[in-house]
Amino acid sequence: MFDALADRLESAWKSLRGQDKISQTNIKEALREVRRALLEADVNLQVVKNFIAEVESKAQGAEVVSGVRPDQQFIKIVHDELVAVMGGENAPLAHIEPGLTVVLMAGLQGTGKTTASAKLALYLRKQERSCYLVATDVYRPAAIDQLITLGKQIDVPVFELGSDANPVEIARQGVEAAREDGADTVIIDTAGRLQIDADMMTELADIKAAVNPHETLLVVDAMMGQEAANLTHTFHEQIGITGAILTKMDGDSRGGAALSVRRISGQPIKFIGVGEKVEALQPFYPDRMASRILGMGDVLTLVEKAQEEVDLADAAKMQEKILSAQFDFTDFLKQTRLMKSMGSLGGLMKMIPGMGKLNADQLEQGEVQLKRSEAMIGSMTTEERKNPDLLSSSPSRRRRIAKGSGHSEKDVSKLVSDFQKMRSMMQQMGQGQFPGLPAGFPG
């Protein structure tokens, strides 16, 4: 999801790479990319404008934290702002205790409203809440049957009065039935239309007035893009919503809806639908979503972890070593252990921009490779670790290491030559500011 946005922000990231201060000039290009990315992702224009203004004012003059590159810091600022736009924290569903929590579902036809009603019932049932579903969509021929089938599937009672009854009356009686049955939560599925229309709005408003719900959830299809902003605006203005469920987040959807809904309504997204199955509902977490939108993994966590783990003086020493080509196998081991203390290689790679796309096989290979390298280094003498060149000139040393570590001589030769290649490459790049350098080492 959000692939386009991720790619755009990746360019923004690149435009800041290698610079040591966040300044008015260098931030311009990055902001332009963020703006374009959000617009391309169909975020409402006004939401984009506010967002960019806030990021700009926060980024400018931001103190560059030592040990953290400005590009990473910029991404953290964008990330934090995205989290804020989407509401900061997870907003739970209302729960009236003791009593009956009434949830009204609203939204256009085809957005996944009926499915979401059943998904929500199952989700709550798993939390030991007893649910009731009410079928008020008397217009769409199969809607009532669809809910009955779903109800059977998840073992939740469905209240219905057939397709000749009045929807307001069905809702009223459904709530009463749920109350009499001692249910904890009643979820009322309503009729949608393909487009916003006055009859639908009037009926919804009437149902709302009749049952006085604790939650009115707008079901928004994540594929709607820009339209999500208008839809949210209309529903919130005319009916008043308390939150939203964003469906079809498993599809190839743009990120726009997630950002727009909260800004336009001031109400939180509470859940996301991530598939057609009835289990495919998840609580909405703004920080997770922001990380996914950025597609860069959680740089923030990486930066924080790095700060916790690395003594900065040590990092500076390491950098100096790298620049002067003194980086040896001992340093390599140290870096590897540091990476391990920060989590698995897979976990770490996901946090590094551009690396998130590595597949499980590649990650596993990387882990295996690191272990092999470690074993071979473990069989080296202190002198050899400090002076890798000793190994390139001595087949007998390589043979001994191969034997000691249970690898072939070819493996050892490759380790040594890859290490030397990496060392000269690192020296050329001269960018040893960040730990975790051996990410691509050795193949």
- Name the minimum Å distance from CB 105 to ligand GDP: 8
Least distance CB 107 / ligand GDP (angstroms): 6
At residue 263's C-alpha, the angle toward residues 257 and 265, to 5°, is 95
Measured from the CB of residue 323, what is the shortest distance to ligand GDP in angstroms?
Answer: 51
Nearer residue to ligand GDP within complex by CB, 245 or 264:
245
**Least gap, CB of 397 to ligand GDP (angstroms):** 59
Q: For the chain, how are helix, strand and coil distributed in percent, rounded to 5?
A: 60, 10, 35
φ/ψ (deg, to 5) at 362:
-65, -40
Of 176 and 250, CB closest to ligand GDP: 250
DSSP secondary structure string for all residues of 117-158: HHHHHHHHHHTT--EEEEE---SSTTHHHHHHHHHHHHT--E
Q: Tell me, what amino acid is at 436?
A: G
Question: Between residues 278 and 323, which has the closer beta carbon with respect to ligand GDP?
Answer: 278
CA-CA distance, 340 to 344, in Å (whole number)?
A: 6
d(CA 247, CA 440): 38
Cβ partners under 8 Å of residue 26, min gap 6: 15, 16, 19, 70
Closest listed residue to residue 376, CA positions, set 338, 336, 339, 343: 336
Q: How far is the CB of 272 from ligand GDP (least distance, A)?
A: 8
How open is the CA angle 399-401-403, to the nearest 5 degrees? 70
Q: Which residues are near ligand GDP by CB under 6 A?
A: 107, 109-115, 192, 247-248, 250-251, 273-276, 280
Closer residue to ligand GDP (CB): 280 or 318: 280
User: In this complex, which beta carbon is closest to ligand GDP, that of residue 145 or of residue 250?
Assistant: 250
Binding-site residues for GTP:
107-114, 189-193, 247-250
Query: Is the CB of 289 or the CB of 342 nearer to ligand GDP?
Result: 289
Name, in order, each residue with C-beta under 8 angstroms of 63's C-beta and a sequence gap of 6 or more: none
CB of residue 137 vs ligand GDP: minimum separation in angstroms?
7
